[in-house]
Amino acid sequence: MLNETHNPSLQSWVPSANLPDADFPLQNLPFAVFRRAGSAEAWRIGIAIGDQVLDLTHALCVDGLPGIKDPALLDACRQNALDDLMALGSAATSALRLALSRALRQGSAAQAVLADTLIAQGAVEYALPARIGDYTDFYTSIHHATHVGALFRPDNPLLPNYKWLPIGYHGRASSIGVSGQRFARPCGQTLPPGATQPVFGPARRMDYELELGILIGAGNTAGERIALDAADQHVFGLCLLNDWSARDLQAWEYQPLGPFLAKNFATTISPWVVTLEALAPFRQPWTRPAGDPQPLAYLDTPAHRQSGALDIELEVAIRTAAMHEAGLPPQRLGQSSFAQAYWSMAQMVAHHTVNGCNLQPGDLLGSGTQSGALAHEAGSLLELTHGGKQPVTLANGEQRTFLEDGDEVILRGRCHAPGAVSIGFGACCGTVLPALG
């Protein structure tokens, strides 16, 4: 899975890319869609390098990537979203990453023409990276599933199908927004404790969910399955994802068909999509506890056992309105790792298509809330506060059981491995505003 773009000795002629804590070193090179902040410029594809964005359209105009000759790839790079590039498949993405890596390395002759194609990340704004046609949210953390199940079903927290298949539901693509999303607190029906009929009003138990998003590259034809060991060829890359949840709306509506208004009002993803190739150094063996049911044949292969897991460290932080006004930094609330997921990325893709469902370029899969076994590894306030019974006290003295108006939630992700350069995902930020009306 490794190639010359992963070489840890490589450095860039962009100085900020060589800092030890950089999210976007030369070994990362994630993709986004951007324009200058506040401008009416056309949206275009950008590549993160250090604290800069390389304008891909501009780079091609000045012949800064001479290794790219394929007309279809050149055309895809000039679009205002990543869908066409995603559709070309992993080989095209790999060829583009190689050309970018060579052009941005120290000593590259391309520096003379590419220097003017860089724009500071602080001077740009982002759009969604792709035209997301469909969104499926999974439930892959057994710790999250057990913790939440225990709150609602103390005698039977984990339903019997959980250990046999990756559970998911189809979400709402139209309300997905990019980092910086600000949305009104949702309204809907809730059933107050002890009441016999519901009431209508703003949700009072607003929550975040610490997740990863998986963006599909090349799709599959309807009626055809994506085999487990072929799943990587159909994934373009990963981003951070916050699946905002109104827990009181959810508790009233979720039976018998699952989430609806409690989750369809907003979902926030990070602007930068880290390619699957960039994540290759952080692969780990995928395991299943010996005492648990082993997956059915279509969800289990030797190759997947060898390297099916991804070690992506995740964290969630909060910055309340009072903290923002006082100039205080965000406070971390939880951290976990995608390596602890009970179901892998490839298993999600394979299971999604085993019935013949056709995935398309730009489709988004959510990993589900990523939580660990320990208290500080909670990926939601529902878990962290034990269903709102144990408030969290912040450093400035404020307390939270669930989110209040003006609260900003920040997700981050980072990968480390021996002998590899660490890479990050940037930030995924969203803010809860007061309910409308």
Q: Which two tokens stand for residue 298?
A: 């279509």
Contact between 377 and 335 (Cβ < 8 Å):
yes
Q: What are all long-range contacts of 407-410, with beta carbons under 8 Å and residues at least 24 apart?
A: 407/318, 407/319, 407/320, 407/321, 407/431, 407/432, 408/318, 408/319, 408/320, 408/324, 408/330, 409/208, 409/242, 409/316, 409/317, 409/318, 410/316, 410/317, 410/318, 410/319, 410/330
Residue 370 CA, chain-centre distance (Å), reads: 11
Residue 346 CA to residue 343 CA, distance in Å, equals 8
Q: What DSSP string runs through 237-272?
A: EEEEEE--EEHHHHHHH-TTT--STTTSS-EEE-S-
Residues with Cβ within 8 Å of residue 77, at least 6 apart in sequence = 45, 56, 57, 60, 68, 85, 96
Residue 20 CA to residue 420 CA, distance in Å, equals 12
Of 6, 58, 143, 144, the active-site residue reads: 144
Q: Are strands 274-275 and 181-184 parallel, antiparallel or unpaired?
A: unpaired
58 catalytic? Reply is: no
CA distances from 335 to 142, 380, 390 (A): 15, 10, 19
Catalytic residues, by residue number, are 144
